[in-house]
Amino acid sequence: MYNEFELKKFVVPEFVFGVNARIMAGNYAKNLGAAKVLIVTSSEIIKAGWIDDIIDELKSVNINSVVYSKVHPNPRDFEVMDGASLFREERCNFIIAIGGGSVIDCAKGIGIVHTNNKSIKSFQGIDMVEFPGPPIICIPTTSGSSADVSQFAIILDTARKVKMALVSKTLVPDVALIDPILLTTLPDYLIACTAMDALTHGIEAYISTAQSAISDVHALEAIRLISKYLVQALSNKGDMKLLTKLMLGSLHAGLAFSNASLGAVHAMAHSLGGLIDLPHGECNAVLLRHIIDYNYHYAEGRYEDVGHAMGIGVSKSSQASMKELIIEKIDELNYKLKIRKDFKSFGISKNQISLLELNALKDCCMVTNPRVPKIGEMEVIYERVL
């Protein structure tokens, strides 16, 4: 199943990493031919004051801009369509997205809706985008989704209450400006959830059946950095060295999963988050331990590497297996980050659990899971967390 000599591709955008990377937005936009920019963001980012820097940088190179900020966590299909309408009305030719994964995914959607003149729903699946969107610069404000370097976009179909996974090389941004200073205004719980998302990216990319020797390097480094520095960074948010380590871990995770894809955790999280509208990283954090238990014997050697990357060592006298120690480590991280253990308070019915499984099995992330699920197996896992 894992063949290091198999032919693989690796897609990555140009990116700049480091403190104050964001202020390069104006020069990059000018060099890429921007005439008028649609800035896609959220009200929270505007309140934090980060948009002003971007607008000022654009003005300094004589580029006008308009802001679209009607983006919710788990971006809705209609938000993408509204943004595309504004893009056309304002005669924009360029997009800058500054925000978390929801904002960046919405911005990617706006771009391809504009150039293909189709509903965002028509792009669900793998390689369903005919024409790439206009040039786009992404400035991430979380250390989690890595949408700024990936060929993925996740959009909520509000009618079906299903998260649509869009996967295409046309969704890889032109430039990512990755600035760790943006984490300083992010709420602690959002840092925790998005970083657990990034940790899941690293783990799932490493055990994915589409992994490669190149994606493995990034996946393991992501796991190492996030496991080592996440709790420390949250306890010392003024320490830029720690925040930079966290942001770097997220970047490595994005480079890994964008090219190796993901697995059952993300497939199930997409389904769950679509139905209940929960934070994506929180869904991953809760589901991760259960999928490790489910998958373990189908990728045992790979999970052992994951454990070592997390700093886990198994002594000869220990009675605990590596699987148990990894799950224990995940539980410890969730406890320290104050992430809930389950979602039982939502009162999901048996019929809804069947629907959750159906949608998860259809998710394209399930294709690269090392264990091919049978009907009913995902229901069992959902029942544990619901």
Q: What is the largest CA-CA distance in the chain?
A: 68
Nearest alpha-carbon partner for 98 in 185, 208, 169: 185
Give residue-wise pLDDT tens across range 342-368: 998 888 888 899 999 999 999 999 999
Give residue-wise pLDDT tens across range 36-63: 999 999 999 999 999 999 999 999 999 9
Whose structure tokens read 């786009």?
Answer: 136
Residue 194 pLDDT > 90, yes or no? yes
Residue 318's pLDDT band (cuts 50, 70, 90):
low
Burial category of 352 from C-beta neighbours within 10 Å (exposed 0-12, middle 13-18, buried 19 and up): middle
Strands 152-157 and 162-167: antiparallel
Nearest alpha-carbon partner for 139 in 188, 90, 199, 180: 180
Lowest mean pLDDT among 166-175, 296-305, 341-350: 341-350
What span, in angstroms and rounded, lies between the C-alpha atoms of 182 and 21? 10
Domain spanning 186-385: which CATH class is it, in words?
A: mainly alpha
What span, in angstroms and rounded, lies between the C-alpha atoms of 176 and 26? 13
Per-domain residue ranges of the chain: 21-178, 186-385
- Reading the block at residue 187, the tokens are 């709420």
- Residue 238, pLDDT score: 87
Instruction: Say if CB 336 and CB 285 are below 8 A apart.
Output: no
CATH assignment, 21-178: 3.40.50.1970
